[in-house]
Structure 1
Amino acid sequence: MAGAGDGDGRAVPVRGRVVLFPLPFQGHLSPMLQLAGALHARGVAATVLHTDYNAPDPAAHPEFAFVAVPSGAVSAALAAAPGDGIAKIMALNAAIEASGCARDALASVISGSAPPRPACLVIDAALPGAQKAAAELGLPTIVLHTGSAAAFRLFRSYAMLREKGYLPAKESELNRPIKEMPPLRVSDLFDPSKYFNEEMGNKILALSTETTTNSSGAVVNTFEALETPELQSVRDELGATIPVFAIGPLHKLSNNGDRSSLLEQDRSCIEWLDTKEPGSVLYVSFGSVVRVNQDDFTEVAWGLANSGRPFLWVVRPGLVAGSSGKPDLPDGFREAVEDRGKMVDWAPQAEVLAHHAVGGFWTHNGWNSTLESIFEGVLMLSRPSFGDQPVTARYVQETWRTGFLVEGKVERGKIEKAIRRLMEGEEAAEVKERADELKKQMLMCLEDGGSTQQAVDKLVDHILSL
C-alpha cells in the first residue's frame, strides 16, 4: 500500500501501520472498519484480519489490506455454537486460542508488511484470544469498545453490583434504582444468574475488562459531550497508563458509508420515502440479530397499522424466532396499510435516518443505531432486547430525553399510543427540541478542533509512540 487517504481521495503519506481484528458480527464489524477509515485518513495504513464467518468484502474497501484467518476450527466452532451471540463469542475465542490461527495470521502480516512495522493490533473488546496472540508476538493491543461509555463502565462494575446486593436480581426489585450509576435500574442489568449458562454469562462480562486491562489504550465509539461523567469514571478507574479515546460517532469519521453491510440493502425504500411528508414516517428496525416471537411480531404489525402513521419496517429473514425465512405478515395487514406502510428485508439505515421524511425510529437501541439516530436528530421509540441495549434505552429516555421506552408486554394498543406520543403533540415537540440540541453537540465534536477530531489526533500520536 503506497499511501493512505484523507477521505477526499487525496493520498496521504504513510506515517504508520496498524492491524485490526473485528468481531465478525454486523454491530462490531462496521465500527471497526469505520475506525480503520479514520486512521487511514490520517496516514495510518490498515490491515484487517477476519474470519471466514461473516467475512467483509475486500472489494468494498480497496483502501485496506485484508488477511483471512483461515481455520476450519473457527468456522466449525461458530457453526456449532447456538444462535445466541454470547455462545458464539466464547466459541470463537476458544477456537482462536486452540488453533493458533490468529497468531499465525498476525505473524505473516508482521513479517510481510512494508515498513514501518505495524505498531499495534486493534481488537474488539470481546476478543481476548486475539490479544493473547499479539502478546506472544510482542505486539501491543488497543481495544475498541463498540458500545457506549455507560456500558463500558457498567461491565467493569459487576463486583460492586453484587456487593451492594443489586445482583442476583430479585423480581420484586427490578425497578430499584442503582444509585451509584444513575439512571440505571436493576431491570437494565444483564444478570448472569438468569442466563441459561451462568458460568458463560460471567465469562462474557469479564472479557472486556480483561482485554482493556491488558491493553495499551481503549477507544470508545462515543463523544465527550454525550457521556461526560461516564467517560470520566472509566478514566479514573483505568488511570493514565491506559488512555481512553472518545472517538465517535465513527460512522461520520470515514467515507465507508454502508459498504460494510453484511446484508443486501433494498434501496427502493428511499424512493418511497421521497413521496412522504417531512417528519411523517416512523422507521422500524430491530437490527441484524434481535429476534421476536410470533405473537409479538403480530402485535407490532397491528400496532403500526392502527397508529395511522406512515412507516418503513425492516422485516428481515430470521426476525421471528424459530424460523430463518422471511416472516409471514398477518392476514389483512397489507390491505390495511396499503401505501402507508413499506416493508423491506434490509435498509440503508444511515441514509434512511437522514431522510427528511423520517421523524421517528423504533429501535432495539443497538449502539450504532442509537448514534446514527442522534446524529440525525431523530426521536427514538426504544424496545431493547439484550446486552447493552437496555442501558442505552434507559439513557435515551431518562438522561438524553430524546425518546421513550416501550416496556412490558407487547400489545397493539400500547404500541399505537407510544407511536402517537413520539410523533404527535406538545410532548413530541419538546423531545424534538432536545434531539436537535444533542445533534448540534455531536456536530460540534466533529468540527475541526472538536473533541472527537482531537481524540483521533491523540490516538494516532499514541499509536505512533508504541
Structure 2
Amino acid sequence: MANHGEKRWRLVLTASPLQGHMTPMLHLATFLHSKGFSITIAHSNLNPPDPSSHPGFTFVPLNDMSTVNTDFAGAGQFLKTLNDNCRPYFKEHLVDIMNAQKDAACEKETIVIIHDNLMSFAASVAGDLGLPAIILRTSSASTFPAMKIIPSLIQEGRFPVEDSMLQEIVQELHPLRYKDLPFINLPIQHALEVINMIIPKTPPVAILWNTLEFLEPSALAQIRDHYKVPIFTVGPLHKIIPAPSTSFYEEDTSCISWLDKQAPKSVIYVSLGSIAKVDDKVLTEMAWGLANSNQPFLWVVRPGSVKGFEWIEFLPEGLVHEMKLRGLIVKWAPQKEVLAHNAVGGFWSHCGWNSTLESMFEGVPMVCQPFELDQKINSRYLSCVWKMGLEIVVERKEIEGVIRRVLVGKEGEEMRQRGMEIKEKIRVAISHGGSSNNSLNEVVDFILSL
C-alpha cells in the first residue's frame, strides 16, 4: 500500500522513553508497517525498545539519556534535557537519509515524521527540513482543554490556588476541580514551560489521538476547533494492533496460574504504573488495607518504586505473612493478560491513559490513585463521567472499604455493568466500519496524500 506509482514512503517515528508513550507508538508503527510503509524508530537510550521484537523496523539511537531523572517534580527539566540532547542526532539522521537519496540513483522515498507530543524537537527539525510532521497523542483528549486553559487561569490569578479552593469545580472544565489540573504543584514558570513544550504553537499536518470518539466528544470538538487540521481517533491502539510486548520490565507470568485458582471477579489487581514512586508509609497503608479487606489481591510493587528501599523489605514480617494467605505480590505483571482474566474484579491504578484504556476494554472497574499530569483528569472522568471508577484516599480503613465496595458491593456491580457497556462500544469502534478502524485506514490514505 505504501508503494503508489513510483513513490515510496519512509515513516520516522519517535516516542519519549516513558512506557505509556513508547507502547502506543510501537503499536502504531506495527500497523503502518503492515500497510507497506518503511519504519524507522528514532529513540533515546533511556528505556530503548527491543529491536529483536520488531525485525522489520530500523532503529536509530539518538543519545544516551540514562542519567536523566524522570521524577514528576523534574518534568520540565527532564523534557528540556531530552529534547535538547536528542535534537541534533535526529536532524543528523534525517539529513543523512536525504543526502543519500540525492546521491543515489535508486527510487526516492517520501519522508514523514510521526512523534509524540513530548518530543517537540521532532516537529522543529521537520520544519527546518521541510518535512511533514504528525503528532501521536498518548494521553486522554480531555487533557488538552485542561492544559490549554492554564495560562489564562494564571493571568486571572486563578492558578495555582489556595488549599481551600482545591475541591472547587473549574467551571470552564466541568467536572474537573482545581486539584485535578496538571502541574498544580509546580511553580508557575515551570508549568508554563512544560505546557509550551506539550502544546505546539505551529500545528502539525495531522494529529493521531489514542482515544475513541464516543469517550471524549466535547474535548475532541475543542481540539478540532483549535488546530484546524485532521484529527484521527485511533484508540485503543493496544487492541486494534497486536504487537509483541513492549514492557520495560520482566513480566512475572506465574501470576496467571495463581489467578486461575481464584473465583470469578473476586480479585483486586493493584499496579501504580512504571514511573510513580511512593513513600514507605503510603505503601504500608496500602498493605494493611489490602490485608484487612479480606479479599484476594494481585499486587505489583515495582522494585525501586518505594523511596529509599529496594522492594518491600520495610513491611512488618507478620503483615507480609498475613498478606500471602490471601494475595500475591509480584514485581511486574503482564497487565493486559491480567485485566482480561475472569478472576479480576477490579483494578487499583494510577490511572495512566494506557492502563485506563486497557481496563475499559475489559470492562474492569477501577480504584483511582492518580499522581500527576493526565492521571488526575482520567481519575475524575472515570468516577464522574464514565462511572467506572472510585477515587481513593490512601488510608487503611478507606482502602479496606473501597475494595469491598468494588468487589462485593452494589457499586461494584453497577460499575461492572457500565464497564460492559463501554467494552461493547469499544468493540464496535475497533471492528470493521467502526470509528477507530475507519480512522486508522484514513491515516494511511492521508499519509499517501502527502
Q: Same fold (TM over 0.5)?
A: yes
Q: Which residue of 1 aligns with 2:172?
A: 180
* SS at 2:400 equivalent: helix
Task: Name the % identity.
Answer: 40
Give the whole-Å Cα distance in 1 for the aligned partners of 2:332 and 2:69.
Answer: 25
Q: Which residue of 1 aligns with 2:373?
A: 387
1:46 deviates by 1.6
Decide whether the 8 Å contact of 1:14 with 1:45 is kept in 2: no
Q: 1:143 aligns with which of 123, 135, 150?
A: 135
Which letter does structure 2 place at the counterpart of 1:125? N
1:327 deviates by 2.7
Alignment of 1:180-219 (within 5 A): 180-191=172-183, 194-195=185-186, 198-210=188-200, 213-219=202-208
Q: Which residue of 2 aligns with 1:7?
A: none
Q: Deviations over 1:140-160 (max 9, x none)?
A: 111111100001232222233
* SS at 2:46 equivalent: coil
Gapped regions of structure 2 (runs ≥ 5): none
Give the whole-Å Cα distance in 1 for the aligned partners of 2:69 and 2:222.
Answer: 35
The answer to whether residue 447 in structure 2 is matched with residue 463 in structure 1 is yes
Q: 2:236 aligns with which of 229, 249, 257?
A: 249
* SS at 1:395 equivalent: helix
Decide whether the 8 Å contact of 1:15 with 1:43 is kept in 2: no
The answer to whether residue 400 in structure 2 is matched with residue 411 in structure 1 is no
Give the whole-Å Cα distance in 1 for the aligned partners of 2:70 and 2:51.
Answer: 28
* SS at 1:62 equivalent: coil
Q: Which residue of 2 aligns with 1:8?
A: none
Which letter does structure 1 place at the counterpart of 2:30? G
Q: Which residue of 2 aligns with 1:440?
A: 424
Q: Deviations over 1:366-387 (max 9, x none)?
A: 0000000000000000000011
Decide whether the 8 Å contact of 2:145 with 2:173 is kept in 1: no
Alignment of 1:11-22 (within 5 A): 16-22=9-15
Give the whole-Å Cα distance in 2 for the aligned partners of 1:181 and 1:115.
Answer: 51
Decide whether the 8 Å contact of 2:8 with 2:110 is kept in 1: no
Q: Which residue of 1 aligns with 2:34?
A: 41
* SS at 2:359 equivalent: helix
Give the whole-Å Cα distance in 1 for the aligned partners of 2:307 and 2:272.
Answer: 13
The answer to whether residue 158 in structure 2 is matched with residue 152 in structure 1 is no
* SS at 1:312 equivalent: strand
* SS at 2:262 equivalent: coil
Q: Which residue of 1 aligns with 2:95?
A: 107
Change (3 A) 1:261 1:191: closer
Give the whole-Å Cα distance in 2 for the aligned partners of 1:14 and 1:369.
Answer: 39
Decide whether the 8 Å contact of 1:31 with 1:251 is kept in 2: yes
Alignment of 1:285-324 (within 5 A): 285-323=271-309
* SS at 1:120 equivalent: strand
The answer to whether residue 250 in structure 2 is matched with residue 264 in structure 1 is yes
Q: Deviations over 1:57-89 (max 9, x none)?
A: 1001123221222x3xx53xx515464461322
Which letter does structure 2 place at the counterpart of 1:152? F
Which letter does structure 2 place at the counterpart of 1:40? H
Decide whether the 8 Å contact of 2:268 with 2:295 is kept in 1: yes
The answer to whether residue 336 in structure 2 is matched with residue 350 in structure 1 is yes
Which letter does structure 1 place at the counterpart of 2:133? T
Give the whole-Å Cα distance in 2 for the aligned partners of 1:270 and 1:92.
Answer: 37
Give the whole-Å Cα distance in 2 for the aligned partners of 1:455 and 1:170.
Answer: 43
* SS at 2:428 equivalent: helix
Which letter does structure 2 place at the counterpart of 1:431? M
1:115 deviates by 4.6
Decide whether the 8 Å contact of 2:203 with 2:227 is kept in 1: no
Which letter does structure 1 place at the counterpart of 2:139? G
Give the whole-Å Cα distance in 1 for the aligned partners of 2:40 and 2:113.
Answer: 9
Change (3 A) 1:109 1:318: farther
Give the whole-Å Cα distance in 2 for the aligned partners of 1:14 and 1:303.
Answer: 60
Q: 1:359 aligns with which of 345, 356, 359?
A: 345
Change (3 A) 1:108 1:262: farther
Gapped regions of structure 1 (runs ≥ 5): 5-12
Give the whole-Å Cα distance in 2 for the aligned partners of 1:118 and 1:309.
Answer: 56
* SS at 1:223 equivalent: coil
Q: Which residue of 1 aligns with 2:210?
A: 221
Decide whether the 8 Å contact of 1:14 with 1:43 is kept in 2: no
1:200 deviates by 2.7
